[in-house]
Structure 1
C-alpha cells in the first residue's frame, strides 16, 4: 500500500531553518512484518508509511537518517525474520546513503545481534560519530541484567540494561569530545517503569557528568513524551506502526544549529519540539 505524502508540513517557525543547520531524519518502532494486524499495530502498513516519510526526507535532504529501534517485529523462524528485515531495509536504504540503526528488543527477538547488524550493514550496536558541530552517540540497551545480550527469545523485554562495559565506553567517549552531544536510544533512559532501562539512573549520571549532552531521542513506548532532567531533554517519539492509514503515521526531521539549538519538526502524529 502506497500512502500519499502528508498534507501537513513544517510549521512556519521551522520553515526558514538556517542553511547551515544540520538535518537528521528520524523514524522509530516500524515493527515491519508480513503478518495480520494485532490490536493497534498494523505491521504491513509500515511499508506505505515509510514511503510517505521518504518523500518528506527527499525534500528535507537529511545528512543521515536514524531508525530508533524495533525496525522489525518478531517472526517464528530466523529465515522469515531475515525476509522481513530485507524487505523493510530495502525501502529504508533508498532514503539516504548514511543510515544508523538502534537495536530494539524486537530486532533481536528472533535474530542474534550480529544477524540483524549484518542484515543492515552496520558494524556495531553501540558507537559514536561526528557530523558538523555535533557528536552523536548510538546506545544499545538490549542486555539482560546479568550482562547477557538479547537474542532468540532469551530475555524479558522489561529487563533492559546498559552493561558496565558500555557505560565505561560511554564515559570515555563523552570525555573526548568538545562538541554538542545528541544521543539515540531505543529503551527509555528517563523513566523507571517497564519501558525504561533498569539502570537508567547510572546512564543519566554518565550523560549529566559530561556536561555536553543536549538531548536524547528514544522510542519504545510508542507515544509522544518529553522529560527535561538536569539540563538534558529526553524526547520520546511516536511509533510508525500504531494505527491504520496515513493519518496515523509519525516521523520527524531534526534540525541542529551550531549554537546548540535543536528543533524537531514532527509529521502526522509526531509533535514538534524546540530545545535551546
Structure 2
C-alpha cells in the first residue's frame, strides 16, 4: 500500500512539474540590438561583448540584431567570435550598410542566415524578419548590392518587394500565434512603401478577429521612440554605438587623431559612452522592454548647438523602457 501511495505522489509531482514548465506559461525573453557598426567603431569589440554578456546574464531565449552589424572581412573575425559566445539561437536582419561591400547572397552565406526574409516560432509567438533593402525605379525592383543604393534617389530606396509582400500575407495567414516583426528600416516612417506593409499587417488583424500583429521593431535611424498606428505598436531601437549627424561634430575633441583617421565615420557622428541594447520579455498579457541609457561623448549635441531631433527622429542616447498590453 505504501509503495502505491509513494508511486502516486511521484506521479503527481512529475505532472505538476511538467505543467509548471509548460512553454505557454513561461515568459519568453530575448535580447535585441541594432546598428552596432562594430567594425567601424574603435571600441567595437567591447560593444559586442557587452550585448553578448547581457544576453548570457539574462538567460534569454534568443538574441537578434537589426542590421548594420559587422563586416565579413578577416579584421572582423574577432568580432564574430565574440558574437558567437552567446550559444543560444541568434538571428540577423539585413541592414543597408551590411550591403556596402557585399551582395545579399554573400552576406547571407557569410553569417549563415537562411534567407533575406524569414519567420520562426518561439513559445506562443511568431516572429517575422523582413528585408527593406530593395530599390524600385518605378518599373522594376532590385536588391541593394555593393553600395548601389547610395546612387539612387531617396524615394527609390527602402522597399519591401512584391514577392516578399506576398510571402508576408501567406505567412501571417498560416499562424494563429501573436506576431512580432523585425526590420532594419522602420515600417512606420522610413520604408517608401511602408503603407503597403502596414495594410498587410492591419488586414491580418482584421481577418483574424483579434490583434494578431502586435509589435514591429526597427533600427536604421539611430533614434528611440514608440508609437502606435491602428492598434499596432512600432518601436525604433537606437543604435548600439552612435548617432549619425551628417556634418562635422568636433570629434577631434572626442578622440585622438590616430583614431579619427582610422575610423572615418566618427567625423560625422556623436558616440555613446556605452552600448545600447534592450531585453524584451513576452508574457501572455503584455510585453516588457527594458532598455539601456548612455551619455553622449562630448562635445554633446547641446555643445554643438543641435536641437532635440534630426529630421523627425529624436536625438537621444537611450533605448527607453516600454510596456505593451496584449489584451
User: TM bucket by the smaller chain?
Assistant: 0.7 to 0.9
How far apart are 1:88 and its partner, in Å? 2.5
Q: Quote the residue 1:249 is aligned against.
A: 275
Give the number of aligned pairs.
Answer: 238
Q: Quote the residue 2:165 is aligned against.
A: 167
TM-score when scaled to structure 2?
A: 0.69
1:238 and 2:287 correspond: no
User: Which deviates more from structure 2 when the two are superposed, residues 236-245 or residues 134-143?
Assistant: 236-245
Q: Quote the residue 1:275 is aligned against.
A: 324
How has the CA–CA distance of structure 1 residues 270 and 124 changed in structure 2, closer, same or farther, with 3 Å as cutoff? same
Q: Quote the residue 2:31 is aligned against.
A: 25
Question: Which structure shows the higher helix fraction?
Answer: 2
Q: After superposition, what is the alpha-carbon deviation per residue over 1:190-213, rounded to whole angstroms, capped at 9, x for unaligned?
A: 11xxxx110000000001111111
Summarize the alignment of residues 32-47 of structure 1 with structure 2, pairs less than 5 Å apart. 32-33=38-39, 43-47=41-45
Q: Quote the residue 1:106 is aligned against.
A: 97
Structure number, greater radius of gyration: 2
Consecutive unaligned residues of structure 1, counting only runs of 5 or more, are 1-17, 36-42, 74-80
Q: After superposition, what is the alpha-carbon deviation per residue over 1:229-272, rounded to whole angstroms, capped at 9, x for unaligned?
A: 00111000110121546x4320011111123x111111232211
Q: After superposition, what is the alpha-carbon deviation per residue over 1:123-149, rounded to whole angstroms, capped at 9, x for unaligned?
A: 211011111000000000111013101
TM-score when scaled to structure 1?
A: 0.82
Q: Which has the higher contact order (CA 8 A, sep 6+)?
A: 1
Distance 1:173 1:85 in 2: 34
Q: Quote the residue 2:266 is aligned against.
A: none
Q: Is the 8 A contact 1:72 1:84 kept in 2?
A: no
How far apart are 1:83 and its partner, in Å? 2.7
Distance 2:75 2:167 in 1: 32
Q: Quote the residue 1:143 is aligned against.
A: 134
User: Cα RMSD (Å) of the superposition?
Assistant: 1.8
Q: After superposition, what is the alpha-carbon deviation per residue over 1:162-187, rounded to whole angstroms, capped at 9, x for unaligned?
A: 00010000001000110010001100
Distance 2:97 2:280 in 1: 25
